[in-house]
Amino acid sequence: MQDPNEDTEWNEILRDFGILPPKEEPKDEIEEMVLRLQKEAMVKPYEKMTLAQLKEAEDEFDDEDMRAIETYREKRLQEWKALKKKQKFGELIEISGNQYVNEVTNADKDVWVIIHLYRSSIPMCLLVNQHLRLLARKFPETKFTKAIVNSCIQHYHDTCLPTIFVYKNGQIEGKFIGIIECGGLNLKLEELEWKLAEVGAIQTDLEENPKKGIIDVMVSSIRNTSIYDDTDSSNSDDDDTK
């Protein structure tokens, strides 16, 4: 196939009639380099510096630059604080009963706190701890804690374990008491994540309840049973009438 950029009389005729596009001009490498350097020069040097480097280089800038630097430094500082706050926790923290008020009830403002009261002799409690440990890493902005139940509440009955309380600003926003409310013996990680997301403690990326299929089957089964019961009752009434 003939090169449309080739300098031939035929190609010039085709360009005149608009059949071929205008000939591409070769790019000037020197011009490209100059444009790139000009673009880089437009970036203030302090925009490439860390907060520590800005501190060291203060004497090298004029008053206008210093005002811009202060604005930029404040912006970077706020971004750093926001990041540190978001990544504040990231692990399942073991606490004792005498730490409950400080670590849970009086936790920092607007911080969601999850406390799991457990007993290590109960397998379901160990499963919940395992899931909470993984969720703590996934949602570091939420404070995940656990405590041996006897250190917090004396004579707490085993049938109430595991117990999960969800706090925010000193108030209980959610609670799951006992095996059934916590999700059952075969509790999956995603199911516990969904439960905690429903009360607002975490922002999950799950789009629907992982147990939705099971719930639908149960509801359908209950409805069918109800229909059969109504039918049997109706037939019985008819027989009595006869």
Let me know if residue 142 belongs to a domain.
yes
CATH number (domain holding residue 191): 3.40.30.10
How many structural domains is the chain composed of? 1
Let me know if residue 6 belongs to a domain.
no
pLDDT of residue 73: 74
pLDDT of residue 25: 62
Let me know if residue 181 belongs to a domain.
yes
Distance (Å, rounded) from C-alpha 84 to C-alpha 166? 22
Give average pLDDT by consecutive 10-residue segment, the chain, 242 residues.
62 71 64 64 56 65 69 77 72 96 95 97 98 96 97 95 98 97 96 97 94 57 55 58 56
Count of CB atoms within 10 A of residue 116's CB? 22
pTM: 0.58
pLDDT of residue 103: 96
Let me know if residue 1 belongs to a domain.
no
Assign 3-class secondary structure to 147-197. EEHHHHCCCCCHHHCCEEEEEECCEEEEEEEHHHHHCCCCCCHHHHHHHHH
Please give the full DSSP string across 108-128, using - where no structure is assigned: STT-EEEEEEE-TT-HHHHHH
**Domain interval for residue 176:** 94-199
Let me know if residue 172 belongs to a domain.
yes
pLDDT of residue 43: 46
pLDDT of residue 218: 46
Let me know if residue 71 belongs to a domain.
no
